[in-house]
């Protein structure tokens, strides 16, 4: 199987540079998602959320709001700034390393900053989640 875009005669069609630029941005943000997964999700948040009777949880750190929602073995997280910039992640409870980017409404710099700050806050014990029944899908 050949990967890429081909014309009707089977000749490769060159792709604009923007596609490789977007792939690079996605790769850089995904590295931060994996760091969040390793440090935060597998670092204790998974056990905390899965064992709770309430599905929605929230934590705040400085200007960041982190919301989580857990249902039917899937967990979704949204990290947001007061200006509405946000990054949404999703994973399955039984995945060993399946967390990924679910949605984004932020620049690359904002997304990386939000993910990095939340991960660091968790690692330093500054991110405390509490039940919040107003959070839903």
Q: Is residue 67 within 8 Å of residue 54, measured between CB atoms?
A: no
Range of the domain at 28: 17-131
Contact between residue 67 and residue 78 where contact means Cβ atoms under 8 Å apart: yes
Please identify which residue in the block is written with the tokens 């943000």.
29
Residue 8 lies in a domain: no
Contacts of 103 (CB under 8 A, 6+ apart): 86, 87, 88
In a domain, 136, yes or no: no
Q: Each residue's pLDDT tens digit in the chain (137 positions)?
A: 456 677 788 888 776 666 678 888 999 999 999 999 999 999 999 999 888 888 999 999 999 999 999 998 899 999 999 999 999 999 997 777 789 999 999 999 999 999 999 999 999 999 999 999 888 77
Q: How many domains does the chain have?
A: 1
2 in a structural domain: no
């Amino acid at each position: 199987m050949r990967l890429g875009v081909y014309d009707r005669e089977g000749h490769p069609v060159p792709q604009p540079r923007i596609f490789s630029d977007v792939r690079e941005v996605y790769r850089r943000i995904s590295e931060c998602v994996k760091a969040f997964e390793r440090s935060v999700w597998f670092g204790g948040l998974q056990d905390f959320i899965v064992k709770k009777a309430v599905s929605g949880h929230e934590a705040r750190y400085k200007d960041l709001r982190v919301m989580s929602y857990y249902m039917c073995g899937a967990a979704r997280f949204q990290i947001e700034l007061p200006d509405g910039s946000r990054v949404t992640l999703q994973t399955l409870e039984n995945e060993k390393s399946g967390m990924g980017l679910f949605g984004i409404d932020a620049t690359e710099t904002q997304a990386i900053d939000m993910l990095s700050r939340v991960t660091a806050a968790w690692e330093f014990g500054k991110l405390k989640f509490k039940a919040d029944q107003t959070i839903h899908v």
